[in-house]
Structure 1
């Protein structure tokens, strides 16, 4: 697993230009919303948004900034999951899922200290992740993945329940983003 492969896979899943009427994110290309493209200096038509710009945004905003590169040094499959979740729900949501899961799996802080939630993977989160894996491997990575996917699935259901237009996306989210 390396970030170039993860980005290529993400772009393959996200596809080219899309402007679904039910999607609040509006027009996207390569999975990058128009708002994100504009925030990073792109001024052209989204139909023409360059793939190279999408790659740079994925690398910087969805990999480096939230700290998933550091997670990859400890648990590559967890980092890949966080990256994909971050693309679809925002990196801060993916980080929160990791921190919530680690806090819930620490057996009342007897295995490692609780983590204060934040928008990025910090040193305390990495300490907790290492401690969890040391205590729970083999099998810990799989259990942590299940926890992350459960949180993701619950969020998708909540999004569809709160905004019926999101039901247009629920099947695909569950089919293509979990498991």
Structure 2
């Protein structure tokens, strides 16, 4: 009986193909499954920030063509309560600046979501995302600069572990970012 209980507890503690949550330093990994009616899709995201503050999000799905052929978008995202505007505004020039002074230029896209909440984001899409992901791995933080002013800081402690866990949970590996 003890062996059966220990075995069940081990199964419960092991990774499973269901919703999940892990924390690594300043980063969280969130895995969600959705039944599309045709198959089960897993969306795996590494996130820092949030909780009312701007966030940095990297997401991949098990249905995507993923690394090393296509790298997930790195998204700097801000949301506002209903009826309020975001600080970042559509069309503003932006960039991220890493500890080592490397910089990647971007542009703010702002709009309203389906429920009427304002959001603004700076997206670093493939193929630029691979460069950004590699820079995130080798630096301690980056600043998001919008119209010449620092908008937010993103800390990279735990990023590599989060990226690897996110990739693993959706069936990819770290190739191309974590060699």
> Quick check: which has more Rg, 1 or 2?
2
